[in-house]
Amino acid sequence: SKVISALNDTENNVMAAAVEALPFFELDNSGNLLINVFQSANPRIRAQIAKSAAFLEKEMAIQVIELAVRDTDHWVRTYAMRTIASLGFKEFAPEVEKIIHSENPPFLLAAAMEAAGNLQIKDLLPSLQKLACSSNPDIASSAIHAIASFGTREALPFLFELIAEADTSLKKYLIPALKHFDHAEVVDFLVFNASITHDEIIRQECINTLAELETPHAYLGLLKLIKIPACYERAISTLKTRKKHYQELLWQFGQISVENRLLLVGFLQQMPLPQFRDIILRYASDDDFRVKNHYQMLLAELDLITALKDDSEPFKKN
């Protein structure tokens, strides 16, 4: 075919295009053809072959990557690492570790860190933690992303320690990484840090990250933050955008104290009241007269909304 012929073309662009297209022709010998070309091609073509290996059958892809990870060219090895990361080839964990533990260009190191995260190589977490403190922002960012991609409880202490020791400029990149961890201790960590920090940027990052966690525990965490004056407005604003509201959690939060029940009024005033009818009815007969008065006003507003809606129904039918 023309594609196979193009593999021997003297023009680099033609050969690169053929290498890129070959895996999609589903030829039985496409992998062997790429291996043959790899052994005599220049670095640009070898890098394209390492990239194209992602679209080969697993056994043949592994054979191509075995060549690419031993290549002397950094870009060839970089594309090999990217293919390893995308396909989850755990067979190449030792090669990933070797690159991370050696002096390498930032782009190759970044690809290896991506592979470390995708392959869940737990032994590399301490190394990734160190790299997250690199003076090179690209390396630091890649390391943070790699740790976050684990998304497991084992990786959390490394992130928590980094956040605790980092300056403000690094913290604002580290905190959002916690959104990848659906664990109760992450919510507690974010709530605590949002509560105690004097830095508005850090406070915003904590609350924004809580907003990414669509769990009951995160919802309760946001409710706790409305008790903190510095967090109140942003926590209320974030609660308003939640896809799901937990009536029972609102009730439990209100049961803790009179103060909590009064704080909920500010939240409910900004929400569609019919959605919260049950809780409004409950607190409209509260023992505390302040709570009772506020919720009776909400109830009156709710009744008005219901009456107006009922009055408009005949017009809709007509």
pLDDT tens by residue, the chain, 318 residues: 667 766 765 677 777 888 788 777 766 677 788 888 888 888 998 999 999 999 888 898 999 999 999 999 999 999 999 999 999 999 999 999 999 999 999 999 999 999 999 999 999 999 999 999 998 989 999 999 999 999 899 999 999 999 999 888 889 889 999 999 988 999 999 999 999 999 999 999 999 999 999 899 999 999 999 999 999 999 999 999 888 999 899 999 999 999 999 999 989 998 888 889 999 999 999 999 999 999 999 999 988 877 766 555 554 554
Are 189 and 197 within 8 A, CB to CB?
no
What's this model's pTM, rounded to 2 decimal places? 0.78
Long-range CB contacts (within 8 A, 24+) of 179-184: 179/209, 179/212, 179/213, 180/148, 180/149, 180/150, 180/151, 181/148, 181/151, 181/152, 181/153, 181/155, 181/156, 182/151, 182/213, 182/215, 183/153, 183/156, 184/217
Are 238 and 222 within 8 A, CB to CB?
yes
Supply the DSSP symbol for 198.
-
Separation of alpha carbons 102 and 36, rounded Å: 29
- Enter the tokens of residue 266: 């500010």
Q: With 0-12 CB in 10 A as exposed, 13-18 as middle and 19+ as buried, what is 196?
A: exposed
